Structure 1
Amino acid sequence: MNLRELHRHLVVARRLDEEAIALQRQGVLPAYAPMKGQEAAQVGSAAALDPTRDFAFPTYRELGAAVALGVDLVGYLASHLGNWHGGLYDPMASRFAPFNAVVGGPVTHAVGWAMGARLDGTGGVALTYFGDGASSQGDVHEAMNFAGVYRLPVIFFCQHNGWAISVPSERQVAGGSVAARAEGYGITGRRIDGNDVAEVYEATREAVDRARDGGGPTVLEAMTYRLGPHSTSDDPGRYRPLAEERQRAQDDPLLRSARLIGDEEFLAEAESHAAKVVREVREGLLALGEQPGEEMFSFVYREPTRALLEQQRRWKESADAQ
């Protein structure tokens, strides 16, 4: 994939991210976790996957990865409505797992999937996202150790954006580097420029090729910066100075790729394309309407528990009474 294709994904991700924030402010979405500033890390890494056999395991902030993998974006944003299990897109078709709000949660899922890929011999590689804050979770350490022992085809992709909500990384990442921890698990670790979409793409592709060839897992630490709040309920002005945000905004990944491309006609076309995508996604999301309430009890367990059936009965009685 060339820089122009990657840039088109960057612009779609940025404009749709802005629209999602607007939708939350308008009361359409209950909550949203912005990813402004992290587009290059997400787009570059996801674009390096083979969608016919690899699988990505996101957190709740990987809109850019969803764009790069061609996920149904109406279905993706529908996840934020909280009215259905895992959103309305098909994870198997898109190779993009339902997003995970558990801190560090997708990491263990990716390692389990990678073990399955090793056993079935398809050559598939798992890519899992997590932040510098999540790197302090015990699940992440256990997953890396397990993957190292079994030489599993998995890439641990850390978006090091400098903040674990309001806690700066220097106060919770011992040693200062997530990639450096890889050596302790006997696996490859590399720190990369997370705002350079081409570097992210090449580094991830190398890690994918190594994993596919039996070289084992890789930890990629993409150094980036969260230009916005942690979530739409967060106020970053309470814990970091505005001067810092303005200074870091000069390294905006969209501005960097635009400067490298330098073709004003193409850049304008990319913005026009993004505006069209945003308009279609907004219209599609607003047209969804409410999902049937009884669906909240579907697909929770393979065999419904007695407690779940009782909850369903009480809900139906309440709904009928209204």
Structure 2
Amino acid sequence: MPVTETSQSQEFLQLLDPSGARVASAEYDPVVADVDGAALLALYEDMVVVRRLDTEATALQRQGELALWPPLLGQEAAQIGSGRALRSDDFVFSSYREHAVAYTRGVEVVDLVRVWRGVTASGWDPYAVGMATPQVIIGAQTLHATGYAMGIRFDGTDSAAVVYFGDGATSEGDVSEAMVFAASFTVPVVFFCQNNQWAISEPVTLQSGGTLADRPPGFGIPSIRVDGNDVLAVHAATRVALARARAGEGPTFIEAVTYRMGPHTTADDPTRYRDAAELESWRTRDPISRLAEHLRSTGALSDDEEERIQATAKAVAAELRAGCLALPDPDPLTMFDEVYAEPHPELERQRAEYAEYLAGFDGVGLTTEASR
């Protein structure tokens, strides 16, 4: 693996350094040989747009329009670089922070906030976009992805499953169990760990004496440690992992070394446990600024292009806000919908009891099927 920089005294793959300079790699350059200036510009636009979406969603929560929001600030390259490497027939399983991955899968922007506004239990149709709705139980999605990948293998197709999780999830038993099964059955799954340095208030150094990429080989899974703020390197590493999966060579673990620049969620105050100097140090490695510098140095990013991209980001953010504010409150009885695939007598009994209960609130502003 080519080495140009260290993080926590350990090496990782890097193709664009923090100043935006291109780092040559005999091993990985051929993997991204087709990623020209126009393709990099598209990745840059993706990152700018999703950062603006993230900022807008955070503002909506602060204004009381969302109950909660888990920001992705600082992790745009890890998510866009990997998400844009996927095919439409691949399937993604994620945690609650992969808004940018969802964006690459074609999820409508308003669907990103439905569940956080509390108007639905699920934001989108997983089969329509090839991505499961976010998993809040830490690490559980690794088991789902491995099971899905086992199905892919049995079907004999060359698609792949990709599962996203954070550094904190690697301390959960589910992740270890998923890797045991993935390795044992040689299934086409990519374990994509965004090591953003903090599992809420616990630093990754407390969870692991070495790098997280050191763990998977113990399960028989090769790993790639990549600069998660380098969108080109992440794209290359994901392509390599997907190629292994499609060739029947089994799972790969990617540790994308990045940084959560905002709070864990909008309910968190990172100033209580994080040194301001650490945050400032990581700001110098900002993924968007890095790619912008590279694109400007090659002439691919002009002032006009920058203006166009910023206008696009502003328009998408406006679409998110308008869509969020227009979301109707659901009828309370809809909580019983789609719980079971077939009619269920016990559920119908509960529904009837709840409808009777709600009917007692007639005249106080509730709109339900029971009060019509």
Place the TM-score, normalised by the shorter chain, in its bin. Answer: over 0.9
Q: Which residue of 1 aligns with 2:57?
A: 20
Q: Map 1:125-164 to 2 at 5 A.
A: 125-164=160-199
Q: Which residue of 2 aligns with 1:237?
A: 271
Higher mean displacement: 307-316 or 246-255:
307-316
1:45 aligns with 2:75: no
The CA distance in 2 between the partners of 1:304 and 1:226, in whole Å, is: 44
How many angstroms does 1:318 deviate by?
Answer: 2.4
Q: Which amino acid aligns with 2:86?
A: L
How many angstroms does 1:156 deviate by?
Answer: 0.3
Q: Deviations over 1:143-182 (max 9, x none)?
A: 0010001110000000000001000111112x32221111
Give 3-state SS (helix, strand or coil) of 2:92's partner.
Answer: strand
How many angstroms does 1:266 deviate by?
Answer: 1.7
Q: Which residue of 2 aligns with 1:293?
A: 332
Q: Map 1:1-322 to 2 at 5 A.
A: 2-51=39-88, 53-87=89-123, 89-173=124-208, 175-262=209-296, 263=301, 264-303=303-342, 308-322=347-361
Aligned residues of 2:119 and 2:328 also touching (Cα < 8 A): no
Q: Deviations over 1:75-120 (max 9, x none)?
A: 1221212322311x22112111111101002111111110111111
Computing the radius of gyration from Cα coordinates, the structure with the larger value is 2
Number of residue pairs aligned between Structure 1 and Structure 2: 319
Identity of aligned residues (%): 46
Aligned residues of 1:84 and 1:295 also touching (Cα < 8 A): no
For normalisation by structure 2, the TM-score amounts to 0.83
The CA distance in 1 between the partners of 2:284 and 2:339, in whole Å, is: 46
Aligned residues of 1:180 and 1:190 also touching (Cα < 8 A): no
The CA distance in 1 between the partners of 2:256 and 2:121, in whole Å, is: 30
The CA distance in 1 between the partners of 2:67 and 2:106, in whole Å, is: 24
How many angstroms does 1:268 deviate by?
Answer: 2.1
Which sections of structure 2, spanning at least 5 residues, go unmatched? 1-34, 362-372
Which sections of structure 1, spanning at least 5 residues, go unmatched? none
Aligned residues of 2:139 and 2:165 also touching (Cα < 8 A): yes
Aligned residues of 1:258 and 1:267 also touching (Cα < 8 A): no
Aligned residues of 2:227 and 2:257 also touching (Cα < 8 A): yes
Higher mean displacement: 134-143 or 301-310:
301-310
The CA distance in 2 between the partners of 1:189 and 1:290, in whole Å, is: 45
Give 3-state SS (helix, strand or coil) of 1:133's partner.
Answer: helix
For normalisation by structure 1, the TM-score amounts to 0.95
